[in-house]
Amino acid sequence: MTFIVLYNSKIFWFGDLNYRLYLEDNLARQLIKKQDWRALQEFDQLQRELEDGGVFEGWKEGNIEFAPTYKYSSSNCNRYSGGLPGRAGEKQRTPAWCDRILWYGKGVKQHSYFRGESKFSDHRPVSALFSTHVEVVKSAKARVAPLPPIIPTAVSSDFTGHDKANEDATLISLISEDIEASPRYMQNFGSNR
């Protein structure tokens, strides 16, 4: 699933963009084992397209300093698909950074870009933290509208009796775990705890 967020001439595009590596599978796996992300990125289809101006002209992406996000053997598994010869029913897929976050527009600064370790699918989610300049326009008819809270604080159930707050709290705790488990987080904030 891919999402696009538009905000005051700034665009954020994130999701499974399905770009792969122009690299033989065993060579990709060797670079992954060495954690040589720079060498691996030289074969990244999206990076080449961005450099050549073929797609996403003028768009940017932060430095990728994490393992490829696709394709894991199954959910709840830390092994890339196809790594074991003769494994029945498993498709051979070269690992790749299919899951990406791109942005377009002036005044955007990316502070972090990392992958989460949630194991709900054969992909690993990616996250990023941005700051951006916001243009404030004064108007004679200006009014202040309250913003909804980012993190739900009240417990509510819908008509089916489903506990929405517990679901939100679980999602929030999973996101928090992913952020705290990321190497960038530990490097920047982990030692201050």
Residue 70 has pLDDT above 60, yes or no: yes
Instruction: Give CA angle at 3 (99, 145), nearest 5°.
Output: 135
Handedness of CA 77, 79, 80, 82 (dihedral sign): negative
The pLDDT of residue 184: 58
**Confidence grade of residue 160 (pLDDT, cut at 50, 70, 90):** very low
Under 8 Å CB-to-CB from 154, ≥6 apart: which residues?
A: 165
What mean pLDDT is predicted for residues 41-47?
A: 95
DSSP 10: E
**Domains of the chain, CATH where assigned:** 2-135 (3.60.10.10), 145-193 (no CATH)
Decide: helix, strand or coil at residue 109.
Answer: strand
Q: E-strand spans in the chain?
A: 2-7, 10-16, 99-104, 108-115, 126-132
| Residues forming a β-bridge with 114 | 127
pTM above 0.85, yes or no: no
Averaged confidence pLDDT in the chain: 78
What mean pLDDT is predicted for residues 128-144?
A: 77
**Confidence grade of residue 125 (pLDDT, cut at 50, 70, 90):** very high
The pLDDT of residue 158: 44
Residue type, 131: S
Residue 28 has pLDDT above 90, yes or no: yes
Least confident of 53-67, 132-146, 163-177: 163-177
